[in-house]
Amino acid sequence: MTAKLMQRQLTRRQILGMAALQTAATLGFTRIGLQSAQAAEPEAVESAPAIVVGSGYGAAVAALRLGQAGIRTLVLEMGRLWNTNGPDGKVFCSTGAPDQRSMWFRTRTEAPLATFLWLDVVNKDISPYPGALDRVHYDHMSVYVGRGVGGGSLVNGGMAVTPLQSYFAEQFPTVDTAEMYGTYFPRARSMLGVNTVDPAWFESTEWYRFTRISRQHASKAGLKTTFVPSVYDFGYMQREAAGTATKSALAGEVIYGNNHGKRSLDKTYLASALGTGNVTLHTLERVKSISRAADGTYVLAVDRIDETGTVVETKEYGCRYLFLGGGSVGTTELLVRARESGTLPALDSSVGTGWGTNGNVMLGRANHLWDTVGANQSTMPVMGIDDWANTANPVFAEIAPLPTGLEHWVSLYLAITKNPERASFSYDNATGAVKLGWSAAQSAVSVGMAKKLFDRINRANTTIYRYDLFGSGNKVFADDFTYHPLGGCVLGKATDDYGRVKGYARLYVTDGSLVPGSIGVNPFVTITALAERTMARVLVEDTAP
Ligand code: FAE
């Protein structure tokens, strides 16, 4: 699709919203609404009928649908707005040359791939700043999340996959799957701007040689591969390859943000939400706690921080309707703290349970010298090895890029395994910290499943694993982090079947914490579709005068 065509397909609301975001960024506003489009920062708001916490997928859907329903809505996001150029003339820094924009208040980057040839050449010292990617550490598991207006959409790989209908039904037995697959998944895909790579271009371009090699190796082991759609604009990518557009996916940009090509939420749902004129967004404001006033409204205690991380103001907001979209760990931490510290004591005992990693494991294989993967690799994955139907060992493995600019003969994968292990969050009264009870043994289950699949691929191709990518200890399987945190406030358990939190009226969860620990594919399309379903129901049933 050409830029002009895309422009024509943007709605008036999206264009207005994008103008507001652009002006707010240029002028350094941390409050954004339609007024920003006229270069005026919106008035500070102390209360709104509806508040949305976070600005990732679940939150963005809630904000748009509330705004369209004419309900004045405030969105509180702890990260910054990513819309202004740094000194290098770019909004985001690249994965290969990270600076302070890369990570959330760190002195050194913490990339998933820690080493190359066992050398500490990947991570770099940086100065603390509200960067786009965070790695939240728990005892045996760390969770990568996006920070900023757009949440995970800023940093993710754009893979926009709809789960297998039968597995969705298994995970969500009380949800009408026909309605999900007939209405909400198509709505989510269309709103997110999902598109697919042109197969002919894929087969011929040097940028996906790494994928074709992995496909060949999988096929030799009798395994099938499947194309996966994306929210990265493949028309743009083809122009990058042709040299007529500024490179982003073809310039190593992804986990610290893409400067072009990616349809992140600030360009889709959130732009449209702001364009309704009913939605205001506050950035660099972190919700610390939630309680309820005597009249049944919700009270949020919020820290406003500056770009050094210093708390410059502590504020309280009130609202009648509260939508939690802080992501699986963000929302779950808020609700576990609220229940255990007594501010929302009637929350269900299942809040904080049912959390999983979507079975994530990352690994690399060493190819033969003649099986080159290419020095040029697109950062946007477009294919997975699909062995989910193998009931003895279900795995869906995304063929991941490793764009170093040099031939390295590494095939990299992010395996999604059907690991049944789940963990719970607990609250430490002394420190107020929320902890995750995930153990190393639980990760070992994912590793066992990934290993079975990739042992098979290695056997068929007489290849071996790479031992040099995940630290100094010859680690083959990176099982101590996840890109896909899911659960903690599971649909139908901590909430009713539409995300209404049990025990409290007009309190909703709309994000990845609703998904019970596994969905078998990359999760953001599912999160978006479930949020669409929640909002369709809630706006009809709960907001009637
Ligand atoms: P999320 O997008 O995480 O948004 C939560 C937002 O809330 C963030 O902006 C937070 O800063 C904010 N927040 C949290 N707590 C607070 C608070 N207390 N106060 C104020 N704000 C708060 O939530 N998924 C795919 O489907 N395809 C992919 O290709 C893919 N690749 C990924 C690659 C990476 C590197 C990462 C990190 C993730 C990837 N994911 C991918 C996962 C996907 O981005 C994730 O499932 C969704 O972003 C989760 O959406 P939520 O709405 O749950």
Residues 6 or more apart in contact with residue 206 via CB below 8 angstroms: 374, 376
User: Distance between alpha carbon 4 and the CA centroid of its chain, in Å?
Assistant: 28
Measure 408 CA to ligand 1 centroid, in angstroms: 30
Instruction: Report the CATH architecture of 3-34+47-82+96-540.
Output: 3-Layer(bba) Sandwich (3.50)
Phi-psi region of 205 (alpha: psi -120 to 50; beta: other; left: phi over 0): beta
pLDDT of residue 9: 61
Whether 290 contacts 351, CB under 8 Å: no
Q: Please, what is the Cα angle at 259 between 258 and 262, to 5 degrees?
A: 55
Q: Is the CB of 519 under 6 A from ligand 1?
A: no
Q: Is the CB of 74 under 6 A from ligand 1?
A: no
Q: Is the CB of 208 under 6 A from ligand 1?
A: no
Question: DSSP secondary structure string, 64-126?
Answer: HHHHHTT--EEEE-SS----S--TTS-SS--SSS--TTSBBT-SB---SS--BTTBS-S--B-
Helix (H) and strand (E) counts for the chain? 14, 22
Whether 450 contacts 395, CB under 8 Å: yes
| Tens-binned pLDDT, residue by residue, of the chain (545 aa) | 444 444 446 788 888 898 888 888 888 888 999 888 888 888 776 788 999 999 999 999 999 999 999 999 999 999 999 999 999 999 999 888 999 999 999 999 999 988 887 888 889 999 999 999 999 999 999 999 999 999 999 999 999 999 999 999 999 999 999 999 999 999 999 999 999 999 999 999 999 999 999 999 999 999 999 999 999 999 999 999 999 999 999 999 999 999 999 999 999 999 999 999 999 999 999 999 999 999 999 999 999 999 999 999 999 999 999 999 999 999 999 999 999 999 999 999 999 999 999 999 999 999 999 999 999 999 999 999 999 999 999 999 999 999 989 999 999 999 999 999 999 999 999 999 999 999 999 999 999 999 999 999 999 999 999 999 998 788 999 999 999 999 999 999 999 999 999 999 999 999 999 999 999 999 999 999 999 999 999 999 998 65
* Ligand 1 pocket test, candidate residues 57, 64, 142, 155, most atoms within 8 A of CB: 57
pLDDT of residue 179: 98
Phi-psi region of 508 (alpha: psi -120 to 50; beta: other; left: phi over 0): beta
Q: Is the CB of 130 under 6 A from ligand 1?
A: no
User: Distance between alpha carbon 84 and the CA centroid of its chain, in Å?
Assistant: 21
User: Distance between alpha carbon 91 and the CA centroid of its chain, in Å?
Assistant: 19
Give the whole-angstrom CA distance, residue 373 versus residue 368.
Answer: 10
pLDDT of residue 22: 86
Q: Is the CB of 520 under 6 A from ligand 1?
A: no
Domains of the chain by residue range: 3-34+47-82+96-540
Measure 223 CA to ligand 1 centroid, in angstroms: 31
Measure 406 CA to ligand 1 centroid, in angstroms: 31
pLDDT of residue 35: 84
pLDDT of residue 544: 66
CA 369 vs CA 132, 364, 372: distances in Å: 36, 15, 6
Q: Is the CB of 229 under 6 A from ligand 1?
A: no
Both structure tokens of 335: 């609700």
Question: DSSP secondary structure string, 24-47?
Answer: HHHHT-SEESHHHHTT-PPPP-SE
- Write the residue with the smallest CA distance to atom 14 of ligand 1: 326
Burial of 544 (0-12, 13-18, 19+ CB in 10 A): exposed
For residue 149, give the ligand 1 atom closest to its CA: 9
CA 461 vs CA 111, 302, 394, 407, 410: distances in Å: 29, 55, 21, 19, 14
Q: Is the CB of 401 under 6 A from ligand 1?
A: no
pLDDT of residue 7: 45
Q: Cα-Cα-Cα-Cα dihedral of 525, 531, 334, 295, to 10°?
A: 170
Rounded to two decimals, the pTM is 0.97
Q: Please, what is the Cα angle at 404 between 402 and 405, to 5 degrees?
A: 125
Q: Please, what is the Cα angle at 32 between 28 and 38, to 5 degrees?
A: 85
Measure 359 CA to ligand 1 centroid, in angstroms: 17
Burial of 482 (0-12, 13-18, 19+ CB in 10 A): buried
Active-site residue set: 398, 484
Measure 324 CA to ligand 1 centroid, in angstroms: 13
Whether 351 contacts 537, CB under 8 Å: no
